[in-house]
Amino acid sequence: MRYSLLCWILLGTGCKADRPPAMPTLPTPADVARATVTVSGVVSGQPDLAEFELPAEFVPELLGVLGPVVYSKHPRSELLREIGRVRFACRDGRTVEVGLVFFGKEPVLFTLQGVPCVRGGPYHDLAPGKDKYLPEVLTLEAYLRAVGRGDREAARQYLSLLHRSAGKQDS
């Protein structure tokens, strides 16, 4: 009886708990009718930004920075800080929520509809051999702050850093 119960626990609920949840998907740029952003200075020390609408020209760039989306079990919540939130209102009536999460130097950590994710793909040292890895989510915060204040040049510079860190060519 005990052996059966142990097997049921290990094979039944134990395995189910380790499976990643059903993965939501990011909308395509064409799906997005409107995107709004809030930014917190909880990590950077900058003032919080009130919600603002992301200009349509920046929607494809932001979606590109978040992809490819990969499920990633995040560290314990008390070790994480949410530094921003993006809400995509889609043309078909859906709303897609992305929470931007800081943990340290790593590819962008975020939640997509509450599911913990990370930007998949390469994560490059920006100064080879010197361990100059980018804390991508803080660079994404700086990008969103630049967009919010209308500083397109600074936004492009932050986007370039994010592309280099991800091993992508600048567009």
Backbone angles phi and psi of 85, in degrees to 5: -145, 140
User: How does residue 70 score in pLDDT terms, banded at 50, 70 and 90?
Assistant: very high
Q: How many residues does the chain have?
A: 171
Domain definitions of the chain by residue range: 23-165
Question: Which DSSP state fits 19?
Answer: S
User: Please, are residues 99 and 150 in contact by the beta-carbon 8 Å criterion?
Assistant: no
Neighbours of 130 (CB within 10 A): 8
Tokens matching residue 127: 């100064």
* Per-residue model confidence (pLDDT) at position 9: 41
* Per-residue model confidence (pLDDT) at position 124: 84
* Per-residue model confidence (pLDDT) at position 12: 46
Give every strand in the sheet of 95-102, ordered side by side: 49-53, 32-39, 81-90, 95-102, 109-112, 115-119, 69-71
Q: Pick the residue with more confidence: 37 or 134?
A: 37
* Per-residue model confidence (pLDDT) at position 127: 64
pTM of the entire predicted model: 0.83
| pLDDT per residue as tens digits for the range 100-132 | 998 878 888 899 999 999 999 988 877 666 677
Share of the chain above pLDDT 70, in %: 82
Range scoring the smallest mean pLDDT among 3-17, 39-53, 85-99, 152-166: 3-17
* Strands (DSSP E) found in 26-170: 32-39, 49-53, 69-71, 81-90, 95-102, 109-112, 115-119
Distance, CA of 121 to chain centre: 13
Residue 31 has pLDDT above 50, yes or no: yes
Residue 15 has pLDDT above 50, yes or no: no
Pairing relation of β-strands 109-112 and 81-90? Answer: unpaired
